[in-house]
Amino acid sequence: QPPTKSMAGGRILAPYETLSVPGAAGNRLGRVHLCRCWSRDTCRWLVRAADASDGWGTDRHASVPTTDLEALAVPELRAWLARETRETLFPTLARLYGFAPAELHYMDLFVVRYTAERGADAQRGLRPHRDRSLLSFNVALSDPRAFDGGGTQIDALGGNAVRPRAQGDLVVHSGKLRHSGAPVTRGTRDLLVGFVGVHSPTVDLPFLRSLYAKLNVQGVERDLAILRRALRGGGGGADPDAGSHGRTGGAVDDDDAAVDGDGGGRG
């Protein structure tokens, strides 16, 4: 049975730690937040429900594949996750990044598994990439004592792994910050991952759909340029290397389109 009440309890979460990307002062997308979110019992229930599903696979994300399960396709999880999203997750993300909850929507919501065990679908970590979404989050479903390694490595933070302190903690950041999943060297690390799109007058959607914002090009300056241009009035003029990847020239029509050529898009 689903838990009757989560640790979040239908409230907006306050970060216990916030990391700021150097060079992104004044841009709210340049902040990475860690919050207490769900109880250990909630996380264990969610993992049991996911393990009981036959929807696990490695082919849902073409450009940056993961061993994962579409969370909202699991009947036992669907209603509970919808409530948690409405009451806690979206209000928290909206408050942290200056949007309205109604402006947020899921582009994807899935359970992902990284493991040091051997097997056909075993995956230890994830290579550097940018997500399709403006905002991304993950909730630690595994006890940190159950594995070694892991964490979200964000290039613009020096590549150091961001690791939550406890099972059930939430990590949220802009998906446009190039990042990777640090390899797990012992045990298994399960996460609930959300890609969150934003339809807001303050967000430059044509730019976010452009190849410039999607391609997996390395460089902190690239990250900073994307963050500036993602928000209308965010500062910064035209980028010298934008070329055909600029504000309109490389646009695609579908928010969910993957860009395979350079490893960007899905991840």
Domain borders along the chain are 35-198
How confident is residue 2, by pLDDT bands cut at 50, 70 and 90?
low
Tell me what pLDDT residue 261 has.
Answer: 28
* pLDDT value at 46 more than 60: yes
In this structure, of 134-143, 184-193, 239-248, the range with the lowest mean pLDDT score is 239-248
Residue range 152-164, pLDDT digits in tens? 999 999 978 999 9
Tell me the per-residue pLDDT of 68-107, one tens digit each, with 9 for 90 and over: 899 999 999 999 999 999 999 999 999 999 999 999 999 9
Phi, psi angles (nearest 5°) of residue 143: -65, 130
213 CB contacts (<8 Å, ≥6 apart)? 130, 176, 207, 226, 229, 230
Query: How far is the first Cα of the chain from the last one, in angstroms, to the nearest whole number?
Result: 31
d(CA 223, CA 62): 22
Lowest mean pLDDT among 53-62, 180-189, 239-248: 239-248
pLDDT in tens, 202-234: 999 999 999 999 888 888 999 999 999 999 875
Q: What is the DSSP letter of 231?
A: B
**What would the CATH number be for the domain defined by 35-198?**
2.60.120.620
